[in-house]
Structure 1
Amino acid sequence: MPDRTTARPRFAFLLTLFVCLAMIGGAALFFTAGAADAPTADEAKDAPAEDEGGAKWIGRSAERPPLPRFVSLRSAEVNVRTGPGTRYPVAAIYNRKDLPVEVTAEYENWRKIRDVEGAEGWAHMSLLSGRRTAIIQGEVRTLYNRPAADAVPLLRAEPGVVGRLMACERNWCEMDIANTRAWIRRDEIWGVYPDEDFH
């Protein structure tokens, strides 16, 4: 019959070891299940987090812009869920990095977003970037070398083309599309508010 003074520590050790292994296994399962709700290491390195902000704001809080606000998708694959958590089903999957979206609500680390077509859902904040982008709307648009209608045309962009938003002033916004910086009328893009100026 084993000595109780040695059996109890051995049992306690085995129990502790079992609990630790169970916790490690559960954590691995959690991170595997939520892998599509987190950016890859390269994506995390490429763009600032949504809460880090993007361009310099004029007339808005530098710490955290108010709701609603525009951000962009940080990852090439983003799960958008019906509620703020991985327990909610996936409503849609976006496969377009840098697509502009509008944050309309917040819950802990989750953001309710709306796309250019008005579809809404919840995405984890780690999948959103403070880098500002915009999408061409309507028809083929002309972009110019300066913010004026009589300026020199630099390129033409079809509806659905996404570019980085560099600055906005008055009725014009500067975009970077295919490594070309040019100006476009504010009302020809989606991803910026009518009264929002920044640089």
Structure 2
Amino acid sequence: MTAGAGKTGARTILARAMVVALMALGPMAGGAQAQVPELQGSRAEPARGAVTNLPLPRYVSLKGNEGNARRGPSLSHRIDWVFRHAGMPLRVVAEFGHWRRVEDRDGAGGWVHYALLSGVRTALVTTDMLELRTRPNPDADIVARAEAGAILRLNECNPGWCRVSGGGQRGWVPKTAIWGVDADEIRD
């Protein structure tokens, strides 16, 4: 082994130690594969996850009734938050191996194992007594009302409205009254 090779090996070990230290610092210190969309550049195309190659950020939902959000992407990191509502919409903002950095409407969250997440899209009602309408029009007939905090299944969306369903009812709601879909997102 030459002196130069020893220095390179030491640099590699130091770089790996820095990645581990960054992951231990907290939720936004992501590590080598974790990505924060704001740091990906200013291109028009969305950032892509290093693991899944899916867009970041993106929305998912909680599969079961409970999901632990950890300080870092492993079981050895402490639990900072527990999500307790099946179907709760969450936004994935980073990836690392089998772990996804998620946040809720209030920005609370952490690293969650991917097995606890579902690609089924849901939305959280942010307006109390939200009116579900027959058409995407503020003058359309009201078919139901949803309380703030209700979780609804997200169906199609146009530029200003989304069709949602829940509790045996379905209807259209303004995007501004729900969380779990981007303002410019279109869904068929």
**What is the TM-score of this pair, normalised by structure 1?**
0.67
Alignment partner, residue 88 of structure 1? 77
Match for residue 68 of structure 2 among 79, 87, 97:
79
Alignment partner, residue 162 of structure 1? 151
2-structure distance, mates of 1:105, 1:178: 32
User: Residue 100 in 1 paired to residue 89 in 2?
Assistant: yes
Alignment partner, residue 119 of structure 2? 130
Report the CA distance between 1:161 and its aligned residue. 0.4
Stretches of structure 1 that go unaligned for 5 or more consecutive residues are 1-58
Alignment partner, residue 160 of structure 2? 171
SS in 2 for 1:187: helix
2-structure distance, mates of 1:138, 1:145: 18
1-structure distance, mates of 2:142, 2:127: 18
Report the CA distance between 1:65 and its aligned residue. 3.2
Deviations 1:35-76 (A, max 9, x none): xxxxxxxxxxxxxxxxxxxxxxxx989x85310001000111
2-structure distance, mates of 1:76, 1:184: 26
2-structure distance, mates of 1:142, 1:154: 8
User: Residue 194 in 1 paired to residue 183 in 2?
Assistant: yes
Report the CA distance between 1:153 and its aligned residue. 0.3
Stretches of structure 2 that go unaligned for 5 or more consecutive residues are 1-44
2-structure distance, mates of 1:120, 1:95: 12
Q: For 2:164, give the aligned amino acid.
A: M
2-structure distance, mates of 1:134, 1:180: 15
2-structure distance, mates of 1:65, 1:173: 22
Percent identity over the alignment? 38
Matches within 5 A, 1:1-199: 64-199=53-188
The structure carrying a bigger helix percent of its residues is 1
Residue correspondences, number: 140
1-structure distance, mates of 2:82, 2:152: 21
Q: For 2:173, give the aligned amino acid.
A: I
2-structure distance, mates of 1:177, 1:127: 22
Give the greater-gyration-radius structure (CA).
1
2-structure distance, mates of 1:91, 1:162: 23
1-structure distance, mates of 2:102, 2:138: 33
Deviations 1:47-106 (A, max 9, x none): xxxxxxxxxxxx989x85310001000111111100000010111111111000000000
2-structure distance, mates of 1:182, 1:65: 29
Deviations 1:124-171 (A, max 9, x none): 001000000000003221110111111110011111000100111110
SS in 2 for 1:126: helix
